[in-house]
Amino acid sequence: MKRYLYPLGIIVTLLASLTIPQIAFAGRANGNVTAKTISGKTIVARSSVVTSNWAWAFQSAYCATTAVNAGHIGCLARLYNNSGALMDSTGWGYNANYLSKADEFVTTAAYDGAVGTSYYSYGMSSGWNGNGYTSFTSNRSPNQTIES
């Protein structure tokens, strides 16, 4: 029975390596959270950047005090290079569904960047104030560099 365990282990390892995406991330950098109270609801937002051979900016937001209806939280992800040039932006996106308290809404911008170049995320979020949206800028993420 033992002689079959070794080949079985090799087969399982090979199958697992075929099903797991082979993407190596150089890293992730998160900005400090930003919170804003809008019509009695506290919206918590964060800008994050992730790099591999691409750079991605994530803008996330959630309501820390209560659940929110569809369309009540907005995010705009923006990705900048280390020179401050805007490389990609999502435009405003809004949650399409009801979100329970602390459920996040996220938008993502991406750019096929150059090795050795640093990028950061500096997005915006918004909340429904009963008459329109109140927008605010999140804290900027630290720089993250694309490595070979």
**What's the mean pLDDT when you consider all of the chain?**
86
pLDDT of residue 22: 38
The Cα–Cα gap between 87 and 120 comes to 10
CA-only gyration radius of the chain, Å: 20
Sheet holding 118-121, edge to edge: 86-89, 78-81, 118-121, 144-145
CATH of the structural domain 23-145, one choice from 3.30.450, 2.40.50, 1.10.287, 2.60.40: 2.60.40
d(CA 74, CA 132): 11
pTM: 0.81
pLDDT digit string, tens, across residues 79-120: 999 999 999 999 999 999 999 999 999 999 999 988 999 999
Percent of residues in the chain assigned helix, strand, coil, to nearest 5:
10, 45, 40
Listed in order, strand segments (DSSP E) in 71-111 are 73-76, 78-81, 86-89, 93-94, 105-111
- Tens of each residue's pLDDT in the chain, 148 residues: 444 444 434 443 433 333 333 344 568 999 999 999 999 999 999 999 999 889 999 999 999 999 999 999 999 999 999 999 999 999 999 999 999 999 999 999 999 988 999 999 999 999 999 999 999 999 999 999 998 7
